[in-house]
């Protein structure tokens, strides 16, 4: 199955300053790059965006490298539960988009991303995760989480695949600008 821009929502999970400091540098850079690309694409293609922050009092607010790409009216939802699907108001906000495909990026892959993916699958959503858009403090934990999600029906992909699935055709009016983000 392909991700469809007309049926997708993008969710940025807990890409926060203090949490980011605990991530391996190369993994963090991938998450920041992937998140910023998908945020820019979502804005251009009018794809709804949601964002969460896990206990922001302790882990800080959303990382400035991606927050600058948030849509103007986006307010990150503060949460303490690990699954976004269990967070107050999250499912209602997602439901209001009318979208049934959810692209998840963020941290940590084996905790909040995994639990969110499983929660959304259980509620009938199609879940896509660019593997280069999630990280954990341990690469082994990330690998384990991606394997668990694959075995559960989550579509593991990458930023380029998601981007080109959203664009679908080189004739798309945003093709030149958005494809330039990955070069």
Residue 183: pLDDT band with limits 50, 70, 90: confident
135: its two tokens: 């990280």
Distance of alpha carbon 76 from alpha carbon 70, whole angstroms: 9
pLDDT score of 75 more than 90: no
Distance of alpha carbon 30 from alpha carbon 134, whole angstroms: 8
Sketch out the chain's domains with CATH numbers: 8-182 (3.40.50.850)
pTM over 0.95: yes
Look-up: residue for tokens 């910023």? 36
Q: What is the pLDDT of residues 20-67, one digit of tens each?
A: 999 999 999 999 999 999 999 999 999 999 999 999 999 999 999 999
* Bond prior to 108 in cis (omega within 30° of 0): yes
**Total count of residues recorded for the chain:** 183
pLDDT score of 148 more than 90: yes
Average pLDDT over residues 74-83: 93
pLDDT score of 90 more than 90: yes
Distance of alpha carbon 104 from alpha carbon 9, whole angstroms: 9
Distance of alpha carbon 88 from alpha carbon 79, whole angstroms: 8
Residue 151: pLDDT band with limits 50, 70, 90: very high
The mean pLDDT value of the chain amounts to: 96
């Amino acid at each position: 199955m392909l991700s469809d821009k007309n049926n997708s929502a993008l969710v940025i999970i807990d890409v926060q300053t203090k949490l980011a400091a605990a991530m391996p540098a190369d993994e963090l850079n991938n998450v920041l790059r992937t998140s910023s690309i998908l945020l820019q694409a979502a804005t251009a293609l009018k794809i709804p965006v949601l964002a969460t922050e896990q206990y922001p009092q302790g882990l800080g607010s959303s990382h400035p490298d991606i927050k600058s790409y948030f849509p103007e009216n986006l307010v990150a939802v503060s949460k303490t539960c690990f699954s976004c699907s269990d967070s107050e108001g999250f499912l209602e906000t997602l439901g209001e988009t009318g979208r049934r495909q959810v692209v998840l990026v963020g941290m940590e892959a084996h905790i909040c991303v995994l639990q969110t993916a499983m929660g959304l699958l259980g509620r009938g959503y199609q879940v896509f995760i660019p593997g280069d858009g999630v990280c954990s403090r341990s690469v082994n934990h990330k690998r384990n989480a991606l394997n668990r999600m694959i075995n559960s029906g989550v579509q593991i992909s990458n930023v380029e695949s998601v981007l080109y699935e959203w664009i679908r055709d080189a004739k798309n009016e945003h093709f030149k600008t958005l494809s330039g983000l990955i070069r």
